[in-house]
Structure 1
Amino acid sequence: MLTRRTLAPLAVVLLLLSSACDADGGAGAGAGGGDGESPSPDDAARVAEELLADMDLDEKVGQTMVLTAQGTTAEENAGLIEEHHPGGFIYFSENLEDAEQIAELSNGLQEQAAGNGTDVPLFLGIDQEQGMVSRLPVGTRFPDAMAVGASRDPEMARSRAGVTARELGALGINLDYAPVADVNVNAANPVIGIRSFGSDPELVSEMALAEAGAFEEDGVVPVMKHFPGHGDTDVDSHTGLPRVEKSRDEWEKVDLPPFESAVEENVDAIMTAHVFLPELDDSGEPSTLSDNVINGVLRDELGYDGVVTTDALNMEGVRQTHDDGEIAVRALEAGADQLLMPPDAAGAADAVRAAVDEGRISEDRLDESVRRILELKVRRGLLDAEPVDTGAAAGTVGSAENEEAAQEVADASVTLLRNEDDVLPLDSDAAVSVSGAGAEEISAALEELGYQVTGSAGDADVAVVGTEDARSDPEQAAPVEAAASAGTPVVVVAQGTPYDIEELPDADGYLATYSAVDVSRTAAARALAGEVDPTGKLPVDIPGTDLEYGDGLEY
């Protein structure tokens, strides 16, 4: 029999799919990711089974691991590929310089994987949520998810994800750890906040699914995160283990719906959260290591049979009670398929191999995970993907068309929450001072619209003050208070969470952009000037005020 060892990956796929189509009497199917159609689930399963059958234990264990890329060249990762046969790598900012270098890195890593025995392409992933969590040094910067939620338009979500996917694809990146499906109901949440679409489960479900679908349509694997929900936490799981105290009924009402919808739509992959939710599992283990949460709820109750990846295993939220090797074993036992960023790759691999040798993890159980991973790689066209054009990459990312799409999302998100004495829109001849977060960008945009920007609030008709999460930084209230005490009307442009308004009672006007990226600051200036109507609606409740989900003024 011809096997993976004697055929290039594309030849294997073509042989198997051709045979399957002959047997089934159907038309030929492409391997996805290229010009052909995606293979059927049955065809993908056949290809995955052939690949799996020819793997040894080391290669199977390797497929479950997604390692942190080293350096900026493929050569710096050659040892990891040779030793561990990893299923993928994740990129961070330190790996990335410009479009050509990123594309060359991606091509080089895939070439090394193809020559390393398994011949199975890599998942090359990144945290490119957009907004505050963006690793790429190049390309289009869209606002954060909460801005999309404020637009109330799933087309904005599809645009954001579609552009992101096409730019990632041009760089050889085939997986994105996005979208965030957490329902942010805790104003003090230190790690989610504007990364969430909002506090309404239905809104979050609609937007997250719109983004996931756009990613898949453009050939990039989406990873919905963080199951069973990270939106009601007051501890950052990078530094500790959040404990979520809520009933099962409340969890099902608030946190579950986006993930339930993801299961119904068979979204490619779901990421676990390093959170402890006693009503789902009272063992004290984070959900990433909980058999009750992953196998019990996600697999058995909800019926999800897609790829489950852990959140990063170097985070303190999952490292409270076990060593790193034991964590890797327990994550697989709990039902996870991919081990993301084990801090000690060799230790994790050794521990998993030992668990299989000892019968603690059966090889059939390991095969389940590897099979899911391989099927996803087949469905998303990795096995017949061509190297990306390194010379063309720079022309694709950050194109004028893509920038216009990002500006459209930002314009649609701006929300007017206070407008005392109709301070907004600004009079066309108003002198304006701008200070605080984003002052340079907002000033430049106002000047381009014909406004005189002065140096001090005392010389201005209106003082514009930019803030970014002023609830956690009381000093940001000082320029608001100073301008107000001088008798100058003050307009706040909140570029982080909209919750700042509780801390800024002296503001006469208040615009929320939910993001500090350039297009959001430009959108703020356009809204200040009345060039765009602030049509956004609050995607969250504001505690301590009478502002509620759905509020928003217009001109």
Structure 2
Amino acid sequence: MVHAIRRDRSFRRRVTVTAAVSGLLLSMPTAVSAEAPAPRGWVEKTMARMTLEEKVGQLFTTYAYGTSADTDKAADVTRNRSWLGVDNAEQAIDKYHLGGVIYFAWSDNLQNPKQVASLSNGLQQAALGQPAEVPLLVSTDQEHGIVQRLGPPATQFAGNMALGASGSERDARAAGKIAGQELRAVGINQNFAPVADVNVNPANPVIGVRSFSSDPRLAADLTEAQVRGYQSGGAGVVATAKHFPGHGDTDVDSHVGLPVITHTLEQWRKIDAPPFRRAVDTGIGAIMTGHIQFPELDPTGDPATLSKPIMTGLLRDEIGYDGVVVTDSLSMAGVRETYPDEDVPVKALQAGVDMLLMPPNLDTAYNAVLEAVAEGELTEKRIDRSVRRILTLKQQQGIVKRPFASPYGVDETVGSPAHLRAAQRITDRTTTLVKNDDRVLPLTDDARSVLVTGWGEATTSQLTALIGKRGVTAASHYTGTNPGAATVAAATAEARGHDSVVVVTSGAGANPGQSALVNALIETGKPVVTVAVGTPYDIARYPEAGTHLATYSYREGALESATRVLFGEVRPRGKLPVTIPRADDPDQPLFPLGHGLSYRH
């Protein structure tokens, strides 16, 4: 009943605009602009009327199950009660006064653009119905490439390393602008992107193609361009550079363990820091922490998320960043190995963090912060510092003024023909011809029959279809991630019945069956083209291959670009954004940074 009364009072203070979108009602309470205070005034006036409980709630971002804010579907209610102790997101906002909500497909938040817009508006309506009347940061991870939450019909890009291969700041900014406009159209106002990590470790299991480059300068240039794309040019989405202080030289995935980086302070300044410095200089809205151990930066062994020398000493003091710092997910193993779950949010705040993302038990984390204030481990002044940053971000990025998705912007913005064309043009500039020793490419009329084989059932099938559209007979033979001898033999036998073979690889370094497949196909004497659709390092595992493409992505746009290159419809223009080391001597380059071939016309 109290909840209903709050909502009624809040609604009387607003003008409500309701619009129908294909049968969905998007309710959009809009603040009366004539009464809107000056930016600084709004922050201070809002904080002055907030209780401690409301302030602490602003520090948390989490997820809730369901396609709508007030879902009553039995499956959603059951999962929400187990996860949050409430039925739905609306009740979670009422109970915990959340500062942010994050969307995932697995939490049933991202079915289609109109549904997402309706969900976002329902969440904002619930937040603005609270006494403090503070809109939410609604976030997701739309990095593109291998981490992409909002799928088609939203415009898809090949990802950061593909942009690194183009080397174009203009393309990186355009990709950020398009993605930002589409996210904002469905009510998502914060993107946990770009990844600013400098991938100097070819064995990195969690960053890889999510990084722009192994070159700090190129990574910094493209990070700046993406930040500008997201936060300006009509996009108005908060960009979030991650994962500070830099996750690019790890060989452990922080989702399952605690990675250790051995860079010295000077190495950190030269390798890891430049993209984050550039992001700060560009006015980035937020920075995300990494759950990584960096002994030379903090000898205590604390993960960076919980390290005051790193979060305050380096990020705040040395780099000079005074904006919002958000943790990576607190459910990840990398931040849970050293301290109990109830201590982690308190230690993160003590370190200098502002927002706490997805703690494994929200109730435990929320009450732990309140208890820390009551017991003197944290002061309310310290809480105020973070809340002030969060409210200022919401105001500066236009979320206070424009919290709702427009019902008219979804169809005309998300996956628009202009966006799709721009994305394909950008992707066409990323495909890299690494080797063409056999002069197999571009394919000639002699290639009347092509076998597509190798990694990725959907990928080999898609590539086969694209090749078939060129008037060529194309067949698909999926061999799996790590094919055994019998599978290799079967693919080799089928290859003998075709004029040319295209072999798709991804993760060949960890899956020797892929290089065995490539080598067996080469021995048939047929023209063989290898295509790495993940990291470009695969060629080091089968250096005998005479013709090799790197796409950095298995998304449809990247496969379309690869097909255009195969048939000479476009010239390969990408340059390696990383150095590819030799497999037998990692200190020696097989192909240097910046290498890339083209066709002569």
TM-score normalized by the length of structure 1: 0.92
Shift of 1:7: 5.1
Shift of 1:461: 2.6
Structure 1 residues 426-454: Cα deviation after superposition (integer angstroms, max 9, x where no partner): 11341322112422222222222233325
Q: 2:54 maps to which residue?
A: 59
Q: 1:416 maps to which residue?
A: 433
Q: 1:124 maps to which residue?
A: 138
Alpha-carbon distance between aligned partners in 2 of 1:393 and 1:440, rounded to the nearest angstrom? 31
Pair 1:134-2:134 in alignment: no
Q: Secondary structure at 1:186's aligned position in 2?
A: coil
Pair 1:15-2:55 in alignment: no
Pair 1:271-2:263 in alignment: no
Q: 2:82 maps to which residue?
A: none
Match runs of 1:402-413 below 5 Å: 402-413=419-430
Distance of aligned partners of 1:454 and 1:320 in 2 relative to their CA distance in 1, 3 Å threshold:
closer
Q: 1:159 maps to which residue?
A: 174
Alpha-carbon distance between aligned partners in 2 of 1:302 and 1:484, rounded to the nearest angstrom? 51
Alpha-carbon distance between aligned partners in 1 of 2:445 and 2:45, rounded to the nearest angstrom? 69
**Aligned counterpart for 1:547 among listed residues 591, 594, 599:** 591
Distance of aligned partners of 1:450 and 1:5 in 2 relative to their CA distance in 1, 3 Å threshold:
closer
Q: 2:81 maps to which residue?
A: none
- Conserved? CA contact 1:58–1:353, under 8 Å: yes
Alpha-carbon distance between aligned partners in 2 of 1:52 and 1:14, rounded to the nearest angstrom? 21
Match runs of 1:22-41 below 5 Å: none
Moved more, 226-235 or 129-138: 129-138
- Structure 2 regions of 5+ residues with no counterpart? 1-8, 15-28, 71-87, 477-493, 583-588
Q: Secondary structure at 2:158's aligned position in 1?
A: coil
Q: 1:114 maps to which residue?
A: 128
Shift of 1:156: 1.3
Match runs of 1:504-519 below 5 Å: 504-519=542-557
Pair 1:287-2:325 in alignment: no
- Conserved? CA contact 1:241–1:318, under 8 Å: yes
Alpha-carbon distance between aligned partners in 2 of 1:168 and 1:108, rounded to the nearest angstrom? 16
Letter in 1 for 2:560: T
Structure 1 residues 382-429: Cα deviation after superposition (integer angstroms, max 9, x where no partner): 112153244652443222221112211221011111111211111134
Structure 1 residues 121-161: Cα deviation after superposition (integer angstroms, max 9, x where no partner): 00100001011001113311100100000001111111211
Structure 1 residues 45-66: Cα deviation after superposition (integer angstroms, max 9, x where no partner): 2221111111010000000000
**Aligned counterpart for 1:192 among listed residues 191, 207, 211:** 207
Q: Secondary structure at 2:241's aligned position in 1?
A: strand
Q: 2:319 maps to which residue?
A: 302
Pair 1:242-2:259 in alignment: yes
Q: Secondary structure at 1:324's aligned position in 2?
A: coil
Q: 1:97 maps to which residue?
A: 111
Alpha-carbon distance between aligned partners in 1 of 2:545 and 2:474, rounded to the nearest angstrom? 19
Give the superposed CA RMSD: 1.8
Letter in 1 for 2:513: E
Alpha-carbon distance between aligned partners in 1 of 2:98 and 2:300, rounded to the nearest angstrom? 31
Pair 1:459-2:476 in alignment: no
- Conserved? CA contact 2:540–2:590, under 8 Å: no
Q: 2:453 maps to which residue?
A: 435
Shift of 1:84: 0.3
Q: Secondary structure at 2:590's aligned position in 1?
A: coil
Pair 1:479-2:517 in alignment: yes
Moved more, 269-278 or 65-74: 65-74
Letter in 2 for 1:520: A
Moved more, 517-526 or 351-360: 351-360
**Aligned counterpart for 1:81 among listed residues 70, 93, 98:** 93
- Conserved? CA contact 1:13–1:47, under 8 Å: no
**Count of residues in Structure 1 that have an aligned counterpart in Structure 2:** 528
Alpha-carbon distance between aligned partners in 1 of 2:386 and 2:33, rounded to the nearest angstrom? 20
Q: Secondary structure at 1:351's aligned position in 2?
A: helix
Letter in 1 for 2:591: L
Pair 1:535-2:573 in alignment: yes
Alpha-carbon distance between aligned partners in 2 of 1:250 and 1:71, rounded to the nearest angstrom? 45
Letter in 1 for 2:253: D
Alpha-carbon distance between aligned partners in 2 of 1:370 and 1:381, rounded to the nearest angstrom? 17
Pair 1:363-2:380 in alignment: yes
- Conserved? CA contact 1:468–1:516, under 8 Å: no
Shift of 1:483: 1.8
Letter in 1 for 2:284: V
Pair 1:172-2:187 in alignment: yes
Q: Secondary structure at 1:74's aligned position in 2?
A: coil
Give the number of the structure with larger relative contact order, counting CA–CA contacts within 8 Å between residues 6 or more apart.
1
Structure 1 residues 277-305: Cα deviation after superposition (integer angstroms, max 9, x where no partner): 01110111000000000111111111111
Alpha-carbon distance between aligned partners in 2 of 1:131 and 1:7, rounded to the nearest angstrom? 43
Distance of aligned partners of 1:334 and 1:525 in 2 relative to their CA distance in 1, 3 Å threshold:
same
Letter in 2 for 1:117: P
**Aligned counterpart for 1:46 among listed residues 41, 46, 54:** 41
Q: 1:497 maps to which residue?
A: 535
Shift of 1:4: 9.5
Q: Secondary structure at 2:438's aligned position in 1?
A: helix
- Structure 1 regions of 5+ residues with no counterpart? 18-42
Shift of 1:202: 0.6
Identity of counterpart residues, as a percentage?
47
Q: 2:6 maps to which residue?
A: none
Alpha-carbon distance between aligned partners in 1 of 2:364 and 2:262, rounded to the nearest angstrom? 34
Structure 1 residues 513-534: Cα deviation after superposition (integer angstroms, max 9, x where no partner): 0011001011111101111111
Shift of 1:189: 0.2
Shift of 1:368: 0.6
Pair 1:213-2:257 in alignment: no
**Aligned counterpart for 1:181 among listed residues 196, 203, 214:** 196
- Conserved? CA contact 1:183–1:196, under 8 Å: yes
Distance of aligned partners of 1:526 and 1:496 in 2 relative to their CA distance in 1, 3 Å threshold:
same
Moved more, 320-329 or 466-475: 466-475
Alpha-carbon distance between aligned partners in 2 of 1:280 and 1:216, rounded to the nearest angstrom? 31
- Conserved? CA contact 2:438–2:547, under 8 Å: no
- Conserved? CA contact 1:4–1:54, under 8 Å: no
Shift of 1:91: 0.4
Shift of 1:10: 6.2
Pair 1:71-2:115 in alignment: no
- Conserved? CA contact 1:274–1:317, under 8 Å: yes
Q: 1:31 maps to which residue?
A: none
Shift of 1:363: 1.0
**Aligned counterpart for 2:344 among listed residues 327, 336, 340:** 327
Shift of 1:250: 0.9
Alpha-carbon distance between aligned partners in 1 of 2:318 and 2:117, rounded to the nearest angstrom? 41
Alpha-carbon distance between aligned partners in 2 of 1:511 and 1:350, rounded to the nearest angstrom? 53
Shift of 1:467: 1.1
